[in-house]
């Protein structure tokens, strides 16, 4: 009787073991989108300042829209148009009036910065008011220009000065520079500003998807991993997908939806079934954009623990 009981027990344990193995072999994969971070409204005093409030400040495109406050009189409106024309002639920037979605808003009254804007917004003058840090650039989404002071020169020196603030340029110590804090009618636009604008806006407004962090663990036929996908570019990325491949063959793809500039998306996959002989595991991020600023950061080789 004891022998039969022992045999039955062994058979039961065997069946349980087989059941657990089958269950393990067929575990469902679980995907989790658990966090999205947008790098807006920063104030980092540790960054080294040059002639801009922060390095590599620019709008998305060299074509910049603007609007003017209704209280601006005809003289100030004329100064704004002339100042924009001067900057357009000397740089590669273009300006167009658009009251529906302006990137630069011209005001004719004094404005003070909010506390979080004080590092890159000159009190009573203007500057960027909404910025995203994409790692490569500090992209200006919105700027304001205050023209409450009257022009004292034949040409609109004050308006030009304030527009450069909205473009991210800080004051300089050269008295003959248009960006000196005190206006002088003999001041001129510095060549380094013209050169810097040319360099900054040489990049076309394209997305730039990057895998900034990755971690993976492989157990038998199952792969679990986590990645951080970032859009470090100058334009939103649409229809983003994450591709997993092994031995140069795609195993699985995941839809990450759209990814705005400067946004990080943390993505986790657990128990993804893969072929046992899978080697050279690669994870890649793509979008429907035909071009990116760089595709060198779109792919990583997974190192499993």
The domains of the chain are located at 57-200, 206-301
Domain 206-301 has CATH 3.30.1330.40: no
Q: What is the pLDDT of residue 112?
A: 53
Residue pair 291/206 in contact by the 8 Å Cβ criterion = yes
Q: What is the pLDDT of residue 71?
A: 87
Q: What is the pLDDT of residue 31?
A: 52
Q: What is the pLDDT of residue 12?
A: 58
pLDDT averages per 10-residue partition of the chain, 305 residues: 59 55 50 51 47 92 95 92 97 96 88 51 70 92 88 91 94 93 92 96 94 82 86 93 86 89 88 76 88 87 68
Q: What is the pLDDT of residue 93?
A: 98
What backbone phi and psi angles, to 5 degrees, belong to 195? -65, -40
Q: What is the pLDDT of residue 102?
A: 96
Q: For all residues of the chain together, what is the average pLDDT?
A: 82
CA distance 204 to 207: 9
Six-digit token string for 137: 């650039």
Q: What is the pLDDT of residue 224?
A: 84
Classified by CATH at the fold level, domain 57-200 comes out as: Collagenase (Catalytic Domain) (3.40.390)
Q: What is the pLDDT of residue 162?
A: 92
Residue pair 66/95 in contact by the 8 Å Cβ criterion = yes
């Amino acid at each position: 009787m004891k022998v039969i009981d022992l045999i039955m027990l062994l058979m039961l344990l065997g069946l349980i073991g087989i059941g657990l193995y089958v269950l393990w072999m067929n575990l469902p994969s679980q995907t989790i989108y658990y966090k999205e971070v947008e790098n807006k409204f920063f104030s980092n005093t540790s960054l080294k300042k040059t002639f801009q409030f922060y390095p590599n400040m620019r709008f998305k495109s060299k074509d910049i829209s603007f609007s003017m406050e209704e209280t601006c009189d005809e003289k100030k409106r004329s100064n704004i148009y002339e100042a924009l024309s001067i900057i357009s002639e000397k740089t590669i920037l273009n300006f167009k009036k658009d009251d529906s979605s302006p990137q630069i808003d011209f005001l004719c009254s004094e404005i003070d910065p909010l506390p979080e804007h004080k590092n890159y917004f000159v009190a009573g003058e203007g500057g960027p008011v909404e910025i995203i840090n994409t790692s490569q650039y500090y992209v200006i989404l919105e700027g304001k220009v205050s023209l409450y002071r009257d022009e004292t020169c034949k040409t609109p020196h004050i308006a030009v000065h304030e527009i450069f603030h909205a473009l991210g340029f800080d004051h300089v110590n050269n008295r003959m520079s248009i960006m000196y804090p005190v206006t002088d009618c003999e001041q001129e636009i510095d060549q380094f500003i013209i050169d810097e604008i040319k360099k900054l806006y040489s990049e076309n407004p394209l997305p730039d998807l990057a895998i900034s962090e990755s971690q993976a663990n492989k157990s038998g036929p199952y792969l679990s991993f986590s990645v951080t996908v970032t859009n470090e570019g100058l334009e939103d990325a649409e229809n983003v997908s994450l591709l997993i491949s092994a031995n140069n063959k795609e195993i699985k793809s995941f839809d990450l939806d759209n990814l705005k500039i400067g946004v990080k998306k943390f993505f986790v996959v657990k128990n993804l079934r893969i072929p046992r002989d899978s080697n050279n595991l690669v994870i890649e991020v793509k979008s429907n954009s035909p071009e990116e600023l760089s595709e060198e950061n779109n792919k990583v080789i997974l190192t499993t623990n």
